[in-house]
Amino acid sequence: MSMPHKFLLLLLPLLYLFSEAVTALPREQAVPGGIALINLSNTDTPKPTAHLGKHQVLIRAHEGQWQAVVGLSLETAVGTNTLQVTSTKGEVKRVNFKVKDKRYPETHITIKDKRKVNPYKDDLERIYSEQRRSRTAFNRHSELEPDVEFILPISGRLSGNFGRRRFFNKQPRKPHSGMDIAAPTGTEVISPAAGKIVDTGDFFFNGNTIFVDHGQGLVTMYCHLDTINVKKGDMVKQGEKIATVGMTGRVTGPHLHWSVSLNGVRVDPALFMSSEALEMLDAPNRKISKK
Ligand SMILES: [Zn+2]
């Protein structure tokens, strides 16, 4: 056998390991807005429960371990954070983990409808009640078994990353709590994983909106929709159509705003996607390009 062939054979197991590493989802990124993966105990022991602050955390069986999949809010303090783990016998232990710093870029957006930047007094009551409604959906912790390997909810172009510090008409607002994918009005939106529709409605900022509960505190939200094709209580499969893209609410053009929430906090949706899926968002026309 020639040298290059031998070399390739040596590389194969490495390539295999590497591809395993990049496809294991969700990806760990222990930063504000990211995810910490924390092994708690062997799966031959009973499944423990864990809390970050007052929120119960998703726990899955992963490579022989009970692993906590911990959502870290954009406000998470950098440095040592603590997970509270409770055994089935009621013993409580504290597990420390480190959170690293991450600086998200700034973005400036001009909104023509000034009411969507500085709402009228009459709008505030509606906005506050919608915030409570969103919190209720995001704070769920159901016993559904979550699928954490998402597929893309639409094909389109990545137009806004998670975490960007935003200024609307030069005024600072909350950082971007999801991923924006631009696509023409009417583009089909599918559920990236199986789940239950837990709320739908027309929201002041978010426009037509759907919340999907995937289980154990993993909840996703779809905003600015044109049509909503599901109703509260429906069970959906991975890949099932739930809506179409639109430009309802506070928008500058048709796109999907997609948020992913874990233990009550919004995290980067990209961490639930394979690198192949993310590449498609950067070059959405690649597969259909013709000479
Ligand atoms: Zn958005």
| CATH number assigned to the domain comprising residue 173 | 2.70.70.10
Give domain status of residue 19, yes or no: no
Please give the Cα distance from 207 to 193 (Å, whole number).
22
Residue 4 resides in a domain: no
CA 206 to ligand 1 centroid distance, Å: 9
- The CA 205 to ligand 1 mean position distance, Å, reads 10
Q: Average pLDDT for residues 207-217, to the nearest whole number? A: 98
For residue 56, report the distance from its CA to the centre of ligand 1, in Å. Answer: 26
Centroid of ligand 1 to alpha carbon of 163 (angstroms): 10
Do 145 and 41 lie in one domain? The reply is no
Residue type, 144: L
46 and 117 fall within a common domain? no
Task: Count CA atoms closer than 13 A to 74's CA, side-chain side.
Answer: 16
Region 182-201 average pLDDT: 97
Question: How many other C-beta atoms can be found within 10 angstroms of the C-beta atom of residue 148?
Answer: 20
Q: Omega of the bond prior to 26 within 30 degrees of 0, cis?
A: yes
pLDDT at 96: 98
Same domain for 156 and 80, yes or no, is no
Using the mean position of ligand 1's atoms as its centre, give its distance from the Cα of residue 40 in Å.
34
Q: Which tokens go with 77? A: 């303090």
Residue 14 pLDDT level (bands cut at 50, 70, 90): low
Considering the chain, what is the average pLDDT of its residues?
90
The pLDDT tens digits for 220-271 are 999 999 999 999 999 999 999 999 999 999 888 999 999 999 999 999 999 9
Is residue 78 situated within a structural domain? yes
The band of 180, judged by pLDDT with boundaries at 50, 70 and 90, is very high
Q: Are 40 and 97 in contact (CB under 8 A)?
A: no
Binned at pLDDT 50, 70 and 90, residue 5 comes out as low
Residues 58 and 113 in one domain: no
Please give all residues whose CB falls under 5 A of ion ligand 1, grouped by chain where several chains appear. Answer: 178, 180, 257
278 φ, ψ to 5°?
-65, -35
What is the C-alpha separation between 159 and 156, in angstroms, rounded? Answer: 9
Q: What is the pTM of this model?
A: 0.87
Strongest mean pLDDT among 33-37, 119-123, 146-150, 275-279: 33-37
Between the CA of 180 and the centroid of ligand 1 the distance, in Å, is 5
Provide the residue range defining the domain that includes 70: 25-99
Cα 272 to ligand 1 centroid, rounded to whole Å: 17
DSSP 185: T
Dihedral, CA of residue 247, residue 252, residue 258 and residue 263, to nearest 10: -120
Name residue, tokens 């027309």: 202
Domain membership of residue 44 (yes or no) is yes
Q: Count structural domains, the chain.
A: 2
pLDDT band for position 12 (50/70/90)?
A: low
